């Protein structure tokens, strides 16, 4: 099989060699299954190094589960969850949140993927009225599905609003590392220090093979979580192999190196294509995604050589994602191909 | 960390080296996420080699999900599911089947873990009566939770009964390889050829890192399954790393070598301890488990040196599981220790 | 207790005397519970008189259940349901549809309460894509929550669109009688003859004590419905007392007399207040509701004498509902009071 | 239609005239819907007269809902519920408890319908173990499905056990009035005073048209219940018509008169048939049911003249229920017919 890399998704990348090495290293003898093993204890300690000691951490297999089960801990079925109309939670989970939590999702139009206090407030009514699903969670994505990044003060403002209504702030951090790198800050600065209550911490998109973490900053919420995870079909038996990955990711700045490289490549891609006349970059490039509108007829030709997704058929907007293993050469070739295609057409 | 191996569970073992090697080999470049990749296509072909072409196969993360989502495809919430009172589905999933399918579980007392036609028939009533949850699925475990194995004719008899009521036969095959080795047969001989409709095919307990397969022998049942898997939070993004494992497991007889070794070690363990006066083996040793009653006071001492679980506190019955990496030396040491403990006490 | 009537809701009215009489008349001896009684058979025949023989009818206790269980018959949990952002289904059921069906609700902004083909089409994408909840049902309300009424051709156009996507059209007919009277037509003309697949037929708001019907025009959908109703906690034991009410409502034009009176009173109310300078009627008065904006400060004073609800606090829009027992005198007094309050203020 | 009365079910009876009269009396003018009306306030006060002031009461449409929603308030989906293998909750609700609560039901064989401390204890294990559904509720039925009655001390013993495990005691009191009459006590004596936490209080089987009450003796459990009821599709709009029935039932000893008559008729029936040689009464007649084994071939003939249900086909055991409107003449005719049938056969 020919080795190639495209711009479709950071999920299309493989596993970082340091992660694979960490997996191999824990493959020794027997340890207790289901998380009561020393590697998992180490991984939890790693999370505490980054997020502070006052957390509870649970590992699950994937991001869908991290979001859905984290929110399960915050809600009863008569609650509602407020999120962006572009939130992965709403558009890309085949209705898993509704099925599993029983809750109603309420969306706010947010062209750049970011919720605002004003947008949220439109749904903050009907409290104490039994005919109305009771708002309980606001979920934001950091970095957003549009490759944008919330500033700490934006998160804090949302958290303050949310808490003033006795609600919880959930963060889908599938790409939290990209956001932290983008803001040149640590994880705490954009999570617990801004009032986030529960975080889905992403591993897979940043070089892991599988595995996401649910980080609770409010330990009152976790009394039942071990049952929620098990009943939620997300308790891995050979847990050490998730834990080893997190140990590696959170050591030696691997999370940062991977995310920084990925973000840098997105910036580099933007630089290489933004001057091309027929291309319009549509979102600020703050993480590892570049959104662009290009001539509709050029897309299939470009896709013949590089795999990526059309974001919006009606406007010919496409999404190009970079990942930890994207190279400058990949981008140079991509940009050159794009210029050739567009040049031929002019 | 000192390397050790116990007899607690085949989940406590690590990953077979051939599996780990297969994972590393597919870690090249980008492939489409979520299963539309060549490695997954290969793995599906491997399943067809073993089970015939007329199947549909879906990979999920773990056994809980394999069972629950497979049964979701067979049921509506007003159905009931009949299983052994010892079925993993009933006793070890924290109620995941009820929560996710909405169905009622009906159990049959089965001391050796095996359902019988007579036992099932006790629940086959109330059809067409709307006050009664409608029986729709019988689920059997092969090899059973008690380390016993259904003979093909036993499965066929159950399947015939089940199908005569327009119901489905589900098999929890978390240890199907151990059963096939025990019976010196292939997978088909104890699944599709006996009338099984849906199979959970286990990988993790037989040397994989993670990953189970749901095999549908009745393709009428699978029209919606891709949505069930996704909404069920079990669609892995970097799917190639599950697929590569199945490719390895189902090639070069690795599944058979691992299961045979594990079964052989259980037999060896039985041989080594059955003559000890104070020990009573309580189940036929047909797969990779040995169940035994031993003096209550000897258990804690033995557990100081070897990790294993007490199965029934009231009778001092314990379960000893072997796995693909158990060695004769492990067992020799274990048997010697056990003799020492019991000898001292006499 | 002083007898009074307000304009808050047609649910605040009592029971029409002919309904109460019908209840008393069936209170004789024993009949089989749960619907296998002659009165229920009669009621079903009544429905067939109105809707044609090719239907299946099931009675439930209330409108929430009629909508939720009817849609349960049409969906699996990975489906989505498209409705108006003002639909009772979305805003007034405390999330019952999500909890019970597991489906995602997708809303279309619709200021007059009516869905349009264009609005629906915005959600008709992502078919066959497992990450996306699969659209399966469009639900419209007739008459709408805003007191407006779909013309038959509007329903037909929506039905054609819906069916071209292999989806179903559900109608919340809590006030279907009001719509039929408004359009001077029969029930068939705005349901089955326009392509509606499943109807919630409202009794309670039109003079019954309790009881709604789910009418299936597509009998392929009803094979399981008796189980759905029972498991849905909506199978009444002394069913005859719902059936007797429907027998009365659907006999001697009682449904029409009640709805006509109610609609006429809404028109009369509109006539009496629309000339008042400070009042703006905001929706066409086509059924039994009048929506109006009036000076914010006048609302509490008016509410002291007549109970009604503010629809939108931000715009001072109120909703006045009439019912089968509203009298012209009620309205005259109401209009006079309103004029007095507003006159004093000018 | 010929007026007749059988022995099939107390649900086959109609409505007591005092109940019907009470309904008619509240059919005056408008009152606020959904329970914020004076009749509902009165009915709640009536419950407080009987059960003490420290309760919360909610009305729902039927017994399925009373049980399921009451238990919803006590559980999260990872809990289990322990009940008799004959409990209505388990055998007659089409799986509604599992579907709605997500919980696992665990049953205890109980030939007379009564749970015992010993039987419950068999399920009290696996606490704090995430693989195991966590026991949280024990549900008992008073009077039981077998027409037997728990003595207060039996309930207290169960309650003490249950509370010692931090669990809740739920009582299905569909026939609580029959039990209270049987024991010559008040409602408190066999509910709150014995440690019951939540009660389903039955109205329908004791002469009401529809309507059951959920009575919470532990007000900590009710903070969310109004949402649970609404989302559970059980909030009636014209609530006054349920409330009026409870007002009548709980006034002037109507509940007691009805239940006493019904119980007396069961005793009378027992007296009339127990001497017949071929008949064996199989349960103590403590409430309003008589269970008997009679020659299999006599059953169809008897059913031609009197409707009743066969309880167990395999043993020719039948159930005869009496109700508030059963007459001595009904029973005399029934006994005579039975004697004739059996006599002819000897």
Closest CA of chain A from D129, distance in Å:
8
Burial of B223 (0-12, 13-18, 19+ CB in 10 A): exposed
CA A175 to chain B, closest CA, distance in angstroms equals 14
Residues of C in contact with D24 (CB under 8 A): 20
Percent of chain B whose predicted confidence (pLDDT) is above 90 = 97
pLDDT per residue over D134-178, tens digit each? 999 999 999 999 999 999 999 999 999 999 999 999 999 999 999
Chosen domain end from C249, C279, C303: C249
Q: What is the mean pLDDT of chain D?
A: 96
Tell whether D234 lies on the interface with C, counting CB pairs under 8 A.
yes
Query: Tell me, what's the pLDDT at B22?
Result: 98
Query: What percent of chain A has a predicted confidence (pLDDT) above 90?
Result: 97
Percentage of chain A surpassing pLDDT 70?
98
What pLDDT score does B1 carry?
Answer: 47
**Contact with chain A for residue B79, Cβ under 8 A:** no
Nearest residue to A213 (alpha-carbon basis) of A24, A5, A27, A56: A56
What is residue D1's predicted lDDT score, i.e. its pLDDT? 47
User: Chains near C, with 3+ CB pairs < 8 A?
Assistant: A, B, D
Span C69-78, mean pLDDT? Answer: 98
Q: Does B230 touch chain C (CB under 8 A)?
A: yes
* CB-based contact D1:C28 (threshold 8 Å): yes
Which tokens belong to B324? Answer: 């693909």
pLDDT digits (tens, 9 = 90+) for A169-196: 999 999 999 999 999 999 999 999 999 9
Are C130 and C231 part of one and the same domain?
A: yes
Q: Chain D closest CA to C236's CA: distance in Å?
A: 7
Contacting residues of D for A102, CB less than 8 Å apart: 231
Backbone angles phi, psi at C326, to 5 degrees: -65, 140
Whole-angstrom Cα distance, residue C270 to residue C335? 10
B4: confidence class by pLDDT, cuts 50, 70, 90 = confident
DSSP string over A80-138: EEEEETT-HHHHSSTTHHHHHH-PEEEEE--TTS---HHHHHTT---TT-TTSPEEEEE
Question: Does the beta carbon of B13 lie under 8 angstroms from any beta carbon of chain A?
Answer: yes
Same-domain pairing of A274 and A308:
yes
What's the pLDDT score for residue D345? 54
Query: What's the pLDDT score for residue B345?
Result: 54
Question: How close D204 gets to chain A, by Cα (Å)?
Answer: 26
pLDDT at D2 (0 to 100): 61
| pLDDT tens, position by position, B181-213 | 999 999 999 999 999 999 999 999 999 999 999
Which of C78, C132, C136, C228 should we substitute to test contact with B (largest number of B Cβ atoms within 10 Å)? C78
* Domain final residue, candidates B215, B249, B283: B249
The mean pLDDT of D308-331, rounded to a whole number, is 96
Interface touch A98/C102, C-beta < 8 Å: yes
Residues C305 and C186 in one domain: no
* C-alpha distance from residue D143 to each of C309, D28, D263 (Å): 45, 37, 11
- Report pLDDT digits (tens) over A144-161: 999 999 999 999 999 999
Tokens of B17: 């080296």
**In total, how many domains does chain A have?**
2
Domain CATH for D183: 3.40.640.10
> What digits encode the pLDDT tens for the residues B150-180?
999 999 999 999 999 999 999 999 999 999 9
Looking at chain B, which residue has its C-alpha nearest residue A229? Answer: B94
Token code pair at residue B45: 């072909």
Helix (H) or strand (E) holding A169: strand A168-173
Angle at C213 between CA C208 and CA C219, to 5 degrees: 160
Mean pLDDT of A216-221: 94
Q: Are residues C272 and C165 in the same domain?
A: no
C-chain residue closest to D65, CA distance: C233
Mutation target to probe the B interface, by most B beta carbons within 10 A, among C227, C229, C234, C235 is C227
Tell the residue number behind the tokens 């002019």, with chain if given.
Answer: A346
- Does A324 reside within a domain? yes
CB contact under 8 A, D95 and B105: no
**What confidence tier does C108 reach under pLDDT thresholds 50, 70, 90?**
very high
Chain D residues touching residue A77 (CB < 8 angstroms)? 231
Give the chains touching D; criterion: ≥3 Cβ pairs < 8 Å: A, B, C
pLDDT in tens, A248-289: 999 999 999 999 999 999 999 999 999 998 999 999 999 999
Is residue B338 one of the residues assigned to a domain?
A: yes
Cβ-based contacts under 8 A for chains B and D: 63
Distance of CA C38 to the CA centre of its chain: 27
Residues from chain D that touch C232, judged by Cβ atoms under 8 A, are 96, 233
Report the C-alpha gap between C174 and D51 in whole angstroms.
37
Q: Which of C24, C28, C233 sits opposite D96 (nearest CB)?
A: C233
Is A78–D231 a contact, with Cβ atoms under 8 angstroms apart? yes
CA-based nearest residue to C35, from D308, D303, D65, B130: B130
* Closest residue in C to D16 (Cα–Cα): C27
Average pLDDT, chain A: 96
C-alpha pair distances (Å), D194 with each of A325, C120, D117: 68, 57, 14
- pLDDT tens per residue across span C242-296: 999 999 999 999 999 999 999 999 999 999 999 998 999 999 999 999 999 999 9
Give the pLDDT score at B80: 98
Give the Cβ contact number of residue D54 at 10 Å.
11
Q: In the prediction, which pLDDT does C4 show?
A: 83
Mean local confidence (pLDDT), C150-176: 98
* Predicted pLDDT at C344: 67
Handedness of CA D184, D188, D189, D190 (dihedral sign): positive
Do both A52 and A151 map to the same domain?
yes
Q: Mean of the pLDDT values across residues D299-313? A: 94
Domain that holds residue C263: 254-342
**Model pLDDT, residue B120:** 98
Contact B231 C77 (CB under 8 A): yes
> In this structure, are residues C92 and C132 in contact, taking their beta carbons and an 8 Å threshold?
no
The reply to whether B61 touches chain A by the CB within 8 Å rule is: yes
Instruction: Tell me, yes or no, whether A117 and A169 share the same domain.
Output: yes
Distance from CA of B252 to the nearest CA of A (A): 21
Using an 8 Å CB-CB cutoff, list chain C residues near D15: 27, 238, 241
Please check whether residue A3 lies inside any domain of the structure: no
* A183 found inside a domain: yes
Chain A residues within an 8 Å CB radius of C93: 131
Residues 293-322 of C with CB under 8 A from D: 307
Provide the pLDDT confidence category of residue B3 given band limits of 50, 70 and 90: low
Instruction: Determine the pLDDT at residue D267.
Output: 98
Indicate yes or no: CB of D233 within 8 angstroms of CB of C96.
Answer: yes
Put simply, whether B264 touches D (Cβ < 8 Å) is no
CA distance A239 to chain D (A): 15
Cross-chain Cβ contact A102/C94 below 8 Å: no
For residue A240, the distance in angstroms to the closest alpha carbon of chain B comes to 9
pLDDT score of B301? 93
Among B89, B237, B325, the residue to mutate for chain A (most A Cβ within 10 A): B237
Indicate the residue of A76, A227, A235 with minimum beta-carbon distance to D224: A76
Residues C186 and C286 in one domain: no
Specify whether A205 is located in the same domain as A278: no
Q: Pick A11's closest partner by Cβ from B28, B94, B238.
A: B238
User: Per the domain annotation, does C11 fall within a domain?
Assistant: no
Q: Which CATH number fits the domain that encloses residue D295?
A: 3.90.1150.10
Is residue D72 within 8 angstroms of chain B, CB to CB? Answer: no
CB contact under 8 A, D28 and C235: no
Kindly state whether residue C5 falls inside one of the protein's structural domains: no
Spatial CA neighbour of C334 closest among C313, C308, C310, C315: C308
Inter-chain CB proximity C94 and D230 less than 8 Å = yes
Nearest to D133 among B80, B94, B132 (CB): B94
A77 to chain C, any CB pair closer than 8 A? The answer is: yes
Same domain, B286 and B316: yes
CA distance C295 to A141: 42
Is the same domain home to C228 and C273? no
- Measured between alpha carbons, how far is residue A30 from residues A307, B226, B269, C336 in Å? 42, 35, 18, 86
Confidence band, pLDDT 50/70/90 cuts, at residue A79: very high
Q: B27 lies in a domain?
A: yes
Are A172 and A289 contained in the same domain? no
Helix (H) or strand (E) segment spanning residue D254:
helix D254-273
D278 and D231 in one domain? no
CB contact under 8 A, B20 and A15: no
Residue D102: its chain A contacts at CB < 8 A? 231
D27/C15 touch (CB, cutoff 8 Å), yes or no? yes
| Interface membership of C82 toward A (CB under 8 Å) | no
In a domain, C269, yes or no: yes
Q: How far is CA C67 from CA B162, C173, C212, D256, in A?
A: 35, 9, 10, 38
DSSP single-letter state for residue B103: P
Window 98-157 of A, Cβ < 8 Å to C:
98-99, 102-105, 130-134
| Structural tokens at position A23 | 């997996």
Considering only the beta carbons, identify the residue of B14, B30, B204 that sits closest to A4.
Answer: B30
Nearest to C66 by CA among D61, D93, D12: D61
Instruction: With CB atoms and an 8 Å threshold, state whether B1 touches A307.
Output: no
pLDDT digits (tens, 9 = 90+) for D51-95: 999 999 999 999 999 999 999 999 999 999 999 999 999 999 999
How close D104 comes to chain B (CA, Å)? 6
Contact check, Cβ <8 Å, C209/D96:
no
- Report the DSSP beta bridge partners of residue A134: A79
Which residue among C249, C268, C301 closes a domain?
A: C249
Determine the Cα–Cα distance for residues D303 and B38; give it in Å rounded to an integer: 67
Question: Quick one: closest CA in B to D134, which residue?
Answer: B94
- Chain-chain contact of B99 with A24 (C-beta, under 8 angstroms): no
Tokens matching residue C318: 């109120």
> What tens digit of pLDDT does each residue of B94-120 get?
999 999 999 999 999 999 999 999 999
Helices (H) and strands (E) in chain A, counts: 13, 11
**Cβ-Cβ contacts under 8 Å for A24 (sequence gap 6 or more):** B20
């Amino acid at each position: 099989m020919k080795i190639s890399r495209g711009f479709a998704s950071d999920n299309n990348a493989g596993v970082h060699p340091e992660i694979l090495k960490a997996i191999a290293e824990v493959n020794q003898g027997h340890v207790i299954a289901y998380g009561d093993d020393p590697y998992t204890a180490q991984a939890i300690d790693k999370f505490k190094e980054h997020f502070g000691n006052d957390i509870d951490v649970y590992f699950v297999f994937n991001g869908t589960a991290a979001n859905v089960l984290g929110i399960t801990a915050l809600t009863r079925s008569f609650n509602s969850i407020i999120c962006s109309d572009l939130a992965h939670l709403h558009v890309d989970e085949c209705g898993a949140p509704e099925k599993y939590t029983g809750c109603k999702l309420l969306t706010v139009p947010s062209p750049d993927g970011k919720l605002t206090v004003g947008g949220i407030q439109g749904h903050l009514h009907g409290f104490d009225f039994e005919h109305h699903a009771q708002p309980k969670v606001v979920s934001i994505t950091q970095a957003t599905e549009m490759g944008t990044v919330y500033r700490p003060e934006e998160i804090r403002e949302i958290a303050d609003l949310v808490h003033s209504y006795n609600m919880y702030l959930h963060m889908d951090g599938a790409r939290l590392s990209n956001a932290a790198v983008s803001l040149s800050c640590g994880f705490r600065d954009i999570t617990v220090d801004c009032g986030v209550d529960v975080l889905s911490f992403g591993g897979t998109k940043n070089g892991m093979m599988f595995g996401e973490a649910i980080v609770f900053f409010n330990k009152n919420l976790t009394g039942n979580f071990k049952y929620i995870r098990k009943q939620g079909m997300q308790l891995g038996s050979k847990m050490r192999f998730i834990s080893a990955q997190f140990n590696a990711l959170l050591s030696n700045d691997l999370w940062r190196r991977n995310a920084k490289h990925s973000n840098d490549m997105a910036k580099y891609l933007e630089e290489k294509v933004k001057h091309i006349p027929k291309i319009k970059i549509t979102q600020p490039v703050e993480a590892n995604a570049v959104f662009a509108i290009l001539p509709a007829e050029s897309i299939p030709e470009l896709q013949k050589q590089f795999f990526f997704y059309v974001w919006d058929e009606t406007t010919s907007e496409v999404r190009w994602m970079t990942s930890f293993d994207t190279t400058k050469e990949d981008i140079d070739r991509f940009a050159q191909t794009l210029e050739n295609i567009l040049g031929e057409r002019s």
